[in-house]
């Protein structure tokens, strides 16, 4: 096990400091994160791996500002966000983060365009600008001709591309992808991973949770977790530990 000590480095975008997350399951306490210290750099592509129950989803929720630590600290771009209230966390997600999920999580009654526009709606963009931005994003994921379709009319791969477009709408600092290929066949999964790789090459920081080594291989860095702890970290294609 290895600790990274990169505090003060402004290349660092997220950093956990002795992060603990404890769930109360009836009488038993479950330590989903057992004091993790780790930092990811801007522009990195990380895969968080581990068996189920290893704490990788909790890690993702914490980093994605969907959940709060029981103890320890979480710094986002050097700012402590571990004590923020619910509204401030919502604001963090709205302005700085983007999400891609295994089951796509598009809103079924909204068209592709309206799904992509969703973050812009909460950002307070006007309708015209939002429509323009949605169109550009749809083009970016090769879905310009699907703007007025509903999610139910799309294939799995197309739905996930809509989700990616939506995650990009607010021009986030970090994109979180939770098993993005879990519901897709391997060929479509590969296409999605190519889109994500391309985004990373263009400078986006991506943090992805997966248990598939093939998928994790797309990421430059891999963090293996076990029982709420970091098992090992593989940085770059050359570095193993």
Contacts with another protein by CB under 8 A lie at 61, 64, 66-67, 86-87, 90-95, 97, 99, 101, 103, 105-109, 118-119, 121-124, 126-127, 166, 170
Structure tokens at 220: 């430059």
CB of 235 to another protein, least distance (A): 29
Q: Which is nearer to another protein, 96 or 232 (CB)?
A: 96
Residue 88 or 142: the one with the smaller Cβ distance to another protein is: 88
* Token pair recorded at residue 70: 């029981």
Contact assessment for residue 56 and residue 225, using Cβ atoms and an 8 Å cutoff: yes
Q: Residue 65 or 192: which CB sits closer to another protein?
A: 65
Helix H or strand E encompassing 76:
strand 71-76
DSSP assignment letter at 179: S
Least gap, CB of 16 to another protein (angstroms): 18
CB-nearer residue toward another protein: 39 or 65: 65
In the chain, what is the straight-line distance between the N-terminal and C-terminal CA atoms, in Å?
8
Taking the complex as a whole, the smallest distance from the CB of residue 43 to another protein amounts, in Å, to: 23
* Closest C-alpha to 178, from 42, 61, 44, 37: 61
* Dihedral in degrees, nearest 10, Cα atoms 24, 226, 231, 191: -110
Of the pair 64, 189, the CB lying nearest another protein is at: 64
Closest CA relative to residue 46, chosen from 238, 229, 210, 226: 210
Q: Longest Cα pair distance anywhere in the chain, in angstroms?
A: 53
CB of 233 to another protein, least distance (A): 25
- How many Cβ atoms sit within 10 Å of the Cβ of residue 17? 17
Q: Which is nearer to another protein, 8 or 108 (CB)?
A: 108
Please tell me the distance from the alpha carbon of residue 198 to that of residue 44, in angstroms, as a whole number: 12
CB of 61 to another protein, least distance (A): 6
């Amino acid at each position: 096990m290895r600790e990274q000590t990169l505090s003060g480095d402004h290349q660092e975008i997220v950093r956990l400091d002795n992060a603990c997350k404890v769930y109360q399951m009836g009488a038993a306490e479950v330590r989903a994160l057992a004091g993790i210290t780790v930092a990811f750099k801007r522009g990195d592509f990380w895969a968080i791996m581990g068996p189920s129950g290893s704490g990788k989803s909790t890690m993702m929720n914490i980093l994605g500002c969907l959940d709060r630590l029981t103890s320890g600290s979480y710094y986002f771009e050097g700012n402590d966000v571990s004590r923020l209230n619910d509204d401030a966390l919502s604001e963090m997600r709205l302005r700085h983060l983007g999400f891609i999920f295994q089951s796509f999580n598009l809103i079924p009654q909204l068209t592709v365009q309206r799904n992509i526009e969703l973050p812009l709606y909460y950002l307070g963009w006007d309708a015209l600008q939002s429509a323009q931005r949605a169109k550009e994003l749809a083009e970016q994921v090769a879905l310009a001709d699907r703007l007025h379709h509903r999610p139910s009319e799309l294939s799995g791969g197309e739905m996930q591309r809509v989700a990616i477009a939506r995650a990009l709408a607010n021009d986030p600092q970090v994109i979180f992808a939770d098993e993005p290929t879990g519901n897709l066949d391997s060929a479509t999964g590969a296409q999605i991973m190519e889109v994500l790789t391309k985004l990373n090459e263009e400078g986006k920081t991506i943090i992805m949770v997966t248990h598939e080594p093939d998928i994790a291989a797309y990421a430059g860095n891999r963090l293996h977790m076990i029982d709420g702890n970091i098992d090992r970290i593989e940085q770059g294609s050359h570095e193993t530990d």
